[in-house]
Amino acid sequence: MSRIGVFVCHCGENISATVNCEKVAKITGELKGVEFSTDYKYMCSDPGQTLLKEAIKEHKLDGVVVAACSPRMHEPTFRKACAEAGLNPFLCEMSNIREHCSWVHPKDDLTTEKAQDLVRVMVEKVKKNKALNSIKVPVTKTALVIGGGIAGIQAALDIANCGHKVIMVEKQPSIGGHMSQLSETFPTLDCSQCILTPRMVEVAQHPNITLHTYSEVEVVDGFIGNFKVKIRKKSKSLDEHLCTGCGLCTTKCPQKKIPNEFERGLGFRPAIYVPFPQAVPNKPVIDRENCTYYIKGKCKVCEIVCPTKAIRFDQEDEIVEVAVGAIVLATGFDVLQPDFFPEYGYGKYKDVIDGLQFERLASASGPTQGQIRRPSDGKEPKKIVFVACAGSRDPAKGIEYCSKICCMYTAKHAMLYKHKVHDGTPYVFYMDIRAGGKMYEEFVRRTIVEDGTHYVRGRVSTIYEKNGKLIVRGADTLMGGIPIEIEADMVVLATAGVANKGAEELAQTVHVSYDSYKFFAEAHPKLKPVETNTAGIFLAGACQAPKDIPESVAAASGAAVKVAALFSNDELTRDPLVALVNRQPAPVFSTCVGCFLCQSVCPYQAIEREEIKNRNGEVIKTLARVNEGLCQGCGTCVALCRTKAIDIHGYSNQQVYTEIMALLND
């Protein structure tokens, strides 16, 4: 016979306004096995919890049902209170009579009846609950940071400075990300390279940071505190220890006409190359797809000229396996591909470029040494059109969101252009100017008022080339929508920021969720902005949504603190709501028949094979066994088990059936 206590919370008036709490307590107090029942204004308050604890002791309760808010809110609170009163915390259950009842139904008898039903269900369930002990798992105090842009750099440095080890993985030959491509940054016009490069060097030299460039994460297994990660280090065709970074090979390479990714196709690079002069590490890689030796089997000029004989043509990819306790995703964003705007001739006309290309033109280290020259003929454009919202806020093209950074960088571009081409005329076609941020609005005003940029409120319909000019057809909606045509020398599209290539695959590899745009999803948009739904994996920077530099850095530091907090414990405790395979006396051993269907569906590889041997050491039966450390308690194995040999604590077949019967038979 059970001795269960029922505690009905009023939640001030949140519940009692529509549910008759006294009645619920009274009626459910009459249920079989209920020893004690009461209602109280605020169960979660200190006196409320004291009431609960006293009742447990006084009435020797062996089960508790708290009818209050969502268990997602206060289940830990009440379980802790139970534990303090000497009751196993897993003998405490909550009925959600606030979110699922009082708040969604009007004040009438039906609502009170529903509340009674919900309490009854939990009373019956609690009768079947078992006392369980929390599972303890160790924490590996090393963090993995995926992505070496400004967000990854910040996160890695912050974690490393807390004294924890960091492994950084970067896909490109150098860290630095998009920020290293920028000319100057809004709203202060700091030189991007000048503020970024010292950070890059710090990463390379930090004793706590291990850097893997030209590498990708291939496999992630495990769970919070205990991830196992396989990293593929792509072959650089180079012995990095021997290479001094003298750069002789890059000057002698006969392949010189490969479009330079770092310059966004506005310049060329050789097949053995360092992405940019300030690269970290400043050592070259061979681009095998374009290298004459790998294509034709002959050349090896780099090998001949290398003074330290560091070139390794036969070097293979290396797989590195590491154990980490937390992961920070900082894989950044990408910009739209050229085929996105046929109406703007993007990709067809050389002088229609995107914002990042303009950054390279405006950068002192760029292909034109910072002079604004149009790509087609190298002339200085006297009339330039910037098109904001190129792709952003365009549901027809599949991008509904605002890319957030374009308003500001377009204003910056217009300003930089005006600073460099004094007699030039910049036009900006925009829909709205979104300049929320410290000193942002002031910056935009300066572009308009002091630099005389023509802001035209309207979207561009089409751009075509005629007699060496780009005819931009737009409209001025502030003049009632009258069409206007501008003969421009160059057009810069503020292309939408989109999820990085391969974001979806990476999300699936590391098991985090992502939105319909393939940006990684945070656990809660307001209160958990750097956490993911997967414990132990955090987000930093523009892999989550388009972000500017200060935001990315702030998010990265946020993620780093989360990692540091996690690493401040030697062990983690987990709810023991895991699956288990039943055991029976010999000769049956278990109703498990060893079909291992459970193994095939388990997302955590938590099902192991257990061999039952007889006295002679012969295997007589193979059973499934659940590794409690790995099991996350999803219960998919339970639903699939043909012999019902596997069950799950907290949601066992018996508990679930009891709940259903209690709910439907009043």
Partner 1 sequence: MKVGFYPGCSMKGGAREYQESVSALAKVFDIELVEIPDWNCCGATAAHNLNKELSLSLPARIMALAEREGISDIVVPCAACYNRLSIVKHELEADKSLSTRVASIIDLKYEGTTQILNIIQFIDKYITDRLEEKVVKPFDYKAACYYGCLLVRPHSILKFDRVEDPQSMDVLVKKAGGDAIDWAYKTECCGAGMSVSRTDTVARLSGNIMKDAVDRAAEVVVVACPMCHSNLDMRRPEINKFLNEKIDIPILYISQVLGLAVGLDAKTLGLNRHMTEVNLPVKPVREIPVAKEPKKVVNTQKLEA
Partner 2 sequence: MSASHEHIHPLTLNDEIRRDTGVIINKCYQCGKCSAGCPVATEMEYPPSLVMRMLQTEDPLHVEKLLKSMTIWLCVSCEMCLTRCPMEIDIPSLMDYMRQKSYRAKKTNPQAKKIIAFHKSFLDSINYTGRLYEMGLIVDYKMRTGAMMQDVAIAPKMFVKGKLNPVPEFIKGRKKIAAIFNKIQDKKEGKL
Partner 3 sequence: MQEFEPKIVAFVCNWCTYAGADLTGTSRIKYSANVKIIRFPCTGRIDFMILMKAFENGADGIIVSGCHPNDCHYSTGNFHARRRWIVFRNLLNFTGIDTERIQFSWVSAAEGFKWADVVNNTVKKIKEIGPYENYKKIAVSTLFNEEGASNE
**DSSP letter assigned to residue 344:** G
CA distance 331 to 537: 13
Spatial distance between the Cα atoms of 581 and 637, rounded to a whole number of angstroms: 10
Q: Which does 480 bind (CB under 5 to 8 A by kind): partner 1, partner 3, partner 2, none?
A: partner 2
Angstrom distances, CA of residue 147 to CA of 37, 176, 277: 55, 9, 20
For residues 12-51, which are near partner 3 according to CB under 8 A? none
Q: Taking the complex as a whole, how short is the minimal distance between the CB of residue 461 and partner 1, in angstroms?
A: 11
Binder to partner 1 among 296, 422, 466, 526 (CB under 8 A)?
466
Residues contacting 400, CB < 8 A, separation 6+: 393, 394
114 lies in the site for partner 3, by CB under 8 A: yes
Interacting positions 328-387 with partner 2 (CB under 8 A): 343
483 contributes a contact to partner 2 by CB under 8 A: yes
Beta-bridge partner residues of 353: 492
Give min distance, CB of 485 to partner 2, in A.
9
Q: How far is the CB of 397 from partner 1 (least distance, A)?
A: 12
Location of structure tokens 């750069």: 247
Cβ neighbors of 424 (< 8 A, separation 6 or more) are 372, 380, 381, 382, 383, 384, 417, 418
Helix, strand, coil tally for the chain in percent (to 5): 30, 25, 45
- Of residues 102 and 174, the one with the C-beta less far from partner 3: 102
Taking CB under 8 A as the rule, which mask of x and - marks residues 425-454 in contact with partner 2?
Answer: ------x-----------------------
Q: Which window, 80-88, 418-426, 484-492, 626-634, contacts partner 3 (CB under 8 A)?
A: 626-634
84 binds partner 1 (CB under 8 A): no
Site for partner 3 in 448-507 (CB under 8 A): none
Binding flag, residue 464, partner 1 (CB under 8 A): yes
Q: Buried (b) or exposed (e) across 11-37, using 16+ Cβ within 10 A?
A: beebbbebbbbebbbbbbbebeebbbb
Residue 664 engages partner 3 in binding (rule: CB under 8 A): yes
Alpha carbons within 13 angstroms on the beta-carbon side of residue 605 total 6
Partner that binds at residue 431, options partner 1, partner 3, partner 2, none, CB closer than 5 to 8 Å by kind: partner 2
As a whole number of angstroms, the distance between CA 239 and CA 316 comes to: 11
Is residue 343 involved in binding partner 1 (CB under 8 A)? yes
Instruction: Identify each DSSP E strand in 496-569 by its residue range.
Output: 497-499, 537-539
In the complex, the smallest distance separating the C-beta of residue 341 from partner 1, rounded to whole angstroms, is: 8
Interface with partner 2, residue 108, by CB under 8 A: no
Least distance CB 483 / partner 2 (angstroms): 5
How far is 626 from 605, CA to CA, in rounded Å? Answer: 9
Residues 469-528 that bind partner 1 (CB under 8 A): 471
Q: Residue 45: what are its φ and ψ, rounded to 5°?
A: -70, 170
Binding residues for partner 3 restricted to 72-101, rule: CB under 8 A: 72, 96, 98-101
* CA dist., res. 221 & res. 217, Å (int): 11
Instruction: Confirm or reject binding of residue 458 to partner 2 (CB under 8 A).
Output: yes
Residue 282, CB-side half-sphere exposure with 13 Å CA sphere: 13
Q: How far is the CB of 144 from partner 3 (least distance, A)?
A: 19
Provide φ and ψ at 157, rounded to 5°: -65, -45
Q: Is 99 in the site for partner 1 (CB under 8 A)?
A: no
Measured from the CB of residue 184, what is the shortest distance to partner 3 in angstroms?
A: 38
Length of the chain: 666
CB atoms within 10 A of CB 5: 27
> Is residue 1 at the binding interface for partner 2, with CB under 8 A as the rule?
no
Return the residues of window 444-463 that contact partner 1 according to CB under 8 A. Answer: 462
Nearest CB to partner 2, comparing residues 396 and 527? 396
134: contact with partner 3 by CB under 8 A: no
Give me the least distance between CB of 388 and partner 2, in Å please: 10
Please name the residue that has the structure tokens 């139904």: 105
**Cβ proximity to partner 3, 338 vs 650, nearer residue:** 650
CA distance 26 to 31: 9
Site membership for partner 2, residue 473 (CB under 8 A): yes
Q: Kindly state whether residue 634 participates in binding partner 3, applying the rule CB under 8 A.
A: yes
Asked if 294 and 300 touch (Cβ cutoff 8 Å), the reply is no
Return the range that interacts with partner 2 (CB under 8 A); candidates 163-171, 282-290, 311-319, 471-479: 471-479
Is 103 a binding residue for partner 3 by CB under 8 A? The answer is yes
Q: Is residue 394 a contact residue for partner 1 (CB under 8 A)?
A: no
- Spell out the residues 6+ positions from residue 85 whose beta carbon is closer than 8 angstroms to its own: 52, 53, 54, 56, 57
Question: Does 474 interact with partner 2 (rule: CB under 8 A)?
Answer: yes
Which residues are near partner 3 by CB under 8 A?
70-72, 96, 98-101, 103-106, 110-111, 114, 117-118, 121, 508, 511, 513-514, 521, 525, 533-534, 577, 601, 603-604, 632-636, 638-640, 644, 648, 650-651, 653-654, 656-661, 663-665
